[in-house]
Chains A and B, each alone.
Chain A
Amino acid sequence: MSAAGLSVGVQTAPAAPPTKRRHLSPGRIALYAAGVVLVISVLRVVTGANDIASSGAIAAAIGLAVPIGLAGLGGLWSERAGVVNIGLEGMMILGTWGAAFCAIEWGAWAGIIGGIIGGVVGGVIHAVATVVFGVDHIVSGVALNIIGAGLAKYLAARFFTGMQGGGPTQSPPLPNLPTVSLPGISDALGELEQKHIFFISDLAGIIRGLVTNVSVLTIIAVLLFVATAWILWRSAFGLRLRSCGESPVAAESLGINVYKYKFLAVLVSGGLAGLGGGFLALVAANVYRDGQTGGRGYIGLAAMIFGNWRPGGLMAGAGLFGYTDAIQLRGGGATVHALLLLLAVLLLAIGIWQIVRNKRMVQGGLAIVTAVLTGIWYAVTETVPSELVGITPYLTTLLVLAFASQRLRMPAADGQVYRKGEGH
């Protein structure tokens, strides 16, 4: 029962070394961003779904993307060191309780610390089991999710019962964390947004969503992303940590204490996931509630895989999943309905590209058929049921895995149990 599982006898050819590293210059990123905004503007005008790029939708999307992103970031740390972490959900749950408890006792800022500590407790359990005792990573993760959910509910019932406004499954309202807005700009952008001018208003809406009433915890999360990218890919420490995930035996032969790096990585992973849980309690809901995470740890894991075990891709994945979540919560069946048209056009383009350029008839044909079906769905319905909107992140990840699994590359020794001195 190894987390790495069966290889199904398929010989996976080692990926060809990239001939040239694609480096995204700031100019090119801006170009891509402008392209996305343009597409969204066209879509808004064609379908008339005005909520698609409103500042409200963007702000909500950010609020929902942050916990997913933090959980995914936690997954990134641990999996880059070679420890599969499906215990993210349990760590997040511990984070929600820790944040709520500390926020009530010592104020909102202490809540942030509390969330981190809650997650780190989960990280310690996972690290002791997987790194020290060499237990299978998936087994440990499953057990952690059971313990995390049980512990948080038990502690919530123990401490929040009898508090003013609290109960056995819910905490009293938590103190607020400060939010930041860019003064002046926000209102000006708001006026611009209301005019519904093609492209300009959409851009204004998006920027307004990005700069208005941003929680400090969101800013901290963005900084953590930057810090992670720098530490893991630009520092000697990060290189060593990643070497433990690629080939622990090689790392050991270079004198790296693999246990230490793996242990540390799982602790950081727990802290980040716990902070994600803390965000849910402190910022998103302003209260602790049983079952608050609602599987966001798993979505974080999905976002990380969607992002190919890299911070940039993870951020895009978290943004995408947060956006679909936000649209759903804003009762945006009509907005998702508009996105169906985009999906149909995209699939059509992919299908034609596959047939014309790659001569892949089956895949291209499949894509075109799906595109036509999606188009029909768009044409004959007015809205998309909210239950189906909710499964979008999972379905997207499954499709990405199904159609691009050859391009995804997880750390080579991810999920394998490592014992010191046993590499021969």
Chain B
Amino acid sequence: MTALSPRRILLTLAGPVLALLVAFVVTSLVLVAVGDPVGDVWSSLLSKPLPRQMVNIVNAASVFYLSAIAVAIGFRMNLFNIGVDGQYRVAVFAAAVFAGQAWLPGILNVIVAILIAILCGGLWAGIAAWLKVKRGVSEVISTIMLNAIATGLVSWLLGKVRDTSGSGSNVTNTKEIPDSSKLEGLALVPGAANKVYTLILLAAVVGFLYWFVLGKTRFGYDLRATGMSETAAVASGVKVPRMVVSAMLLSGGVAGLVGMPLLFGQDFSYGTTFQAGLGFSGIAIALLGRNNPVGIAFAALLWAYLEQQSNGLQIKADVSPELVNIIQGVILFAVVIAYELIRRADIRLEQARVARELAAQRGSAPVEEGAQA
């Protein structure tokens, strides 16, 4: 397998480009069928974002990125962690409760809270890992169940620990973190009043570690080998149950980080309005980015761009912003279908190439082989 032949680069890029085209066509067809203004919708969606909106896009992308990396860790070894949703919910709740107590000063409070989030996300994913290894329960089913259980559990606990010091009894969030622990943000985009989350650095670090650990270490090699061929991995001495547990714990730990940029950069507490459903976006983004740390970054930016630009749809084109979910869904379908078709085409081309080379070899040295046949 040559790493970067022109054919491979072309085939790799063909998928996402095709998917975007298909999404454009299908969405336009839906708009026409329903009778909405197609032109207004696209000019609104494709207009250049203002500096303030660019900041929002980068911020949303950093959160999506963490979620997608969490999912991708599982994907690399054939594990389907649908439970990122529940894992980050449990983790951010625990971190918010801890940070709200303000037992530690300033940045130390943030660091310990982040460690707690990693621990809680990992433990919640660990339940699914234990069930899979010890009881043979599919992680797909168990994580779906654990998502729902996390939702119920956290909303019950939130009722117990909600902040009652402030105004009235209808407060539905944890105690706000102290001012010294609020991260102010980075002024990366010129001309924007708002700032990029400081914890975007966390996303960058996680992305680097993902690339390094999975690509450059023995552990990562074993993990990928298990994902590609379990039997081959077992034959080379990999203990698959142990790998399942470590991969799931890692995935859950990263999932625990998903809520951190939001908690320390925007919400400052956990409440009923905390952004939900990030885990499912993560699945889509990981697939779109083909589990590649750079690819996922682009996919996360695309997702964030669409979400941000959808806000203007209602005003500019009188179309529900939910239209963006249709576009995202179609992109996802188109991209996985395109990857599947490309994979098959790739195999066919590879076979043809090998056959050609073999034929050429045979042509140059016509020995007894021909007689045998």
Contacts and interface: CB of A to CB of B under 8 A. Distances in A.
B80 A5 contact: yes
A387 B230 CA distance: 40
Given A150-B329, A153-B320, A391-B149, A9 B78 contact: no
A6 B330 CA distance: 28
A142 B75 CA distance: 14
A50 B283 CA distance: 46
Interface string B58-100: 0000000000000000010111101000000000000000000
Interface string A151-188: 10111111000000000100000000000000000000
B139 interface: yes
B155 interface: yes
Contacts of B330: 147
Interface in B279-322: 280, 283-284, 287, 319-320, 322
Interface stretch (B4-12, B43-51, B130-138, B191-199): B130-138
A156 B140 CA distance: 31
Interface in A1-38: 1-3, 5-10, 12
Contacts of A8: 132-133, 136, 240-241, 244
Contact of B336 (A140, A147, A305): A140
A402 B131 contact: yes
A6 B326 contact: no
A6 B76 CA distance: 12
Given A9-B234, A154-B322, A143 B80 contact: no
Given A150-B326, A158-B320, A385-B156, A301 B135 contact: no
Given A138-B80, A150-B322, A153-B322, A405 B137 contact: yes
A173 B287 CA distance: 40
B23 to A, nearest CB: 11
Interface string A358-400: 0000000000000000000000000001011011011101100
A418 B317 CA distance: 44
A393 B148 CA distance: 9
B136 A12 contact: yes
Given A136-B336, A139-B287, A391-B152, A144 B140 contact: no
A5 B326 contact: no
B108 interface: no
Contacts of A7: 230
B323 A405 contact: no
Q: Which of A6, A10, A387 has the most chain B CB atoms inside 10 A of its CB?
A: A6
B324 A1 contact: no
A296 to B, nearest CB: 11
Contacts of A305: 141
Interface in A104-122: none
A67 to B, nearest CB: 16
Nearest to B35: A158
A379 to B, nearest CB: 20
B348 to A, nearest CB: 13
B230 A388 contact: no
A232 interface: no
* Dominant secondary structure of chain B at its interface with chain A: helix
Nearest to A168: B320
A149 B337 CA distance: 21
B322 A86 contact: no
A219 interface: no
* Dominant secondary structure of chain A at its interface with chain B: helix
- Size category, B interface: 35 or more
Interface in B128-173: 131-133, 135-142, 144-146, 148-149, 151-153, 155-156, 159
B328 interface: yes
Interface stretch (A127-135, A210-218, A257-265, A280-288): A127-135
Q: Which of A5, A84, A133, A405 has the most chain B CB atoms inside 10 A of its CB?
A: A5
Contacts of A403: 135
B94 to A, nearest CB: 17
A417 to B, nearest CB: 9
A5 B287 contact: no
A134 B36 contact: no
A401 B131 contact: yes
Q: Across the A-B interface, give the 10 residue pairs with the lowest CB-CB distance, nearest first.
A: A150-B325, A147-B329, A157-B320, A391-B152, A387-B156, A153-B322, A9-B240, A146-B329, A143-B332, A394-B148
18 contacts: A3-B80, A5-B139, A6-B240, A8-B241, A12-B136, A86-B140, A133-B337, A138-B82, A147-B329, A150-B325, A150-B329, A153-B325, A298-B144, A305-B141, A394-B149, A397-B141, A398-B145, A401-B131
Given A6-B78, A146-B280, A150-B326, 18 more contacts: A5-B139, A6-B230, A8-B244, A9-B241, A86-B82, A129-B333, A142-B332, A154-B326, A155-B34, A158-B34, A385-B156, A391-B152, A391-B153, A394-B146, A394-B149, A395-B149, A397-B145, A401-B141
Interface of A: 1-3, 5-10, 12, 84, 86, 125, 129, 133-136, 138-140, 142-147, 149-151, 153-158, 168, 295, 298, 301-302, 305, 385, 387-388, 390-391, 393-395, 397-398, 401-403, 405-406
